[in-house]
Amino acid sequence: MNTTITRRVEYLPRSRRRLVVAVALAGYPAAVAVLAGLKHTSLNRGLILALFLLVLLLTVAALAVGYRYARGRIDGRGARLDERDLALRQQAYALSHRVLAAILIAATAATVIYLTSGNTLRLDANNVLPATIWVIVYIPALPSLMLAWIETDQPADA
């Protein structure tokens, strides 16, 4: 059962893998946005929570697939890495750095634009906690997700 799931994930076509990576990356910010956007509406609290948990569950599932696909090739644990794996890991780390830089620059620019438009930003648990969770979850996961993003489809067994 476990081997079947691993093999299915291992042979996921790149288009599907990229969809999984996109869901993993956008899922948590989307869940937080859903919660923040809907909590001041008259919508039923239970429905908002259910929606939040659904998006969160999809994110966790997508992250798990990303990790499973990387098969320990990022941290080198549980996998014997050959030269292709090592080259791929380097590419994944390089792409992670570029993605992280783009996200940080975009977030900084958005904050600056928001603040220079006469708004104020209050730092409290409501906005620091989601950012902290994002850092804790995504920074370690990013190289595995990028590996799943860049690797070409596995050749069929022969």
Partner 1 sequence: MPDYQRQVHNRLAVLRAERGLSRKQLAEKLGINYQTIGYIERGDYNPSLELALTIADLFRLPVEAIFSLNPMTPLSEEIFGEPPAETR
User: Which residues here bind partner 1, judged by CB under 8 A?
Assistant: 80, 82-85, 87, 91, 152, 154-158
The total of other beta-carbon atoms located within 10 Å of residue 81's CB is 14
Kindly tell me which of 94 and 110 has the beta carbon lying closer to partner 1: 94
Kindly tell me which of 40 and 80 has the beta carbon lying closer to partner 1: 80
Residue in the structure block whose two tokens are 């697939």:
65
CB–CB of 105/31 below 8 Å?
no
Q: How far is the CB of 40 from partner 1 (least distance, A)?
A: 47
Q: How far is the CB of 23 from partner 1 (least distance, A)?
A: 25
Kindly tell me which of 84 and 98 has the beta carbon lying closer to partner 1: 84
Q: How far is the CB of 64 from partner 1 (least distance, A)?
A: 21
Helix (H, G, I), strand (E, B) or coil at 118: coil
Q: How far is the CB of 118 from partner 1 (least distance, A)?
A: 45
Q: At what angle do helices 45-70 and 125-150 cross, to 10 degrees?
A: 40
Q: How far is the CB of 82 from partner 1 (least distance, A)?
A: 4
Residue in the structure block whose two tokens are 């792409």:
95
Q: What is the largest CA-CA distance in the chain?
A: 64
The total of other beta-carbon atoms located within 10 Å of residue 90's CB is 10
Q: How far apart are CA 143 and CA 121, in angstroms?
A: 31
Kindly tell me which of 16 and 71 has the beta carbon lying closer to partner 1: 71
Residue in the structure block whose two tokens are 């299915």:
8
Kindly tell me which of 72 and 130 has the beta carbon lying closer to partner 1: 72
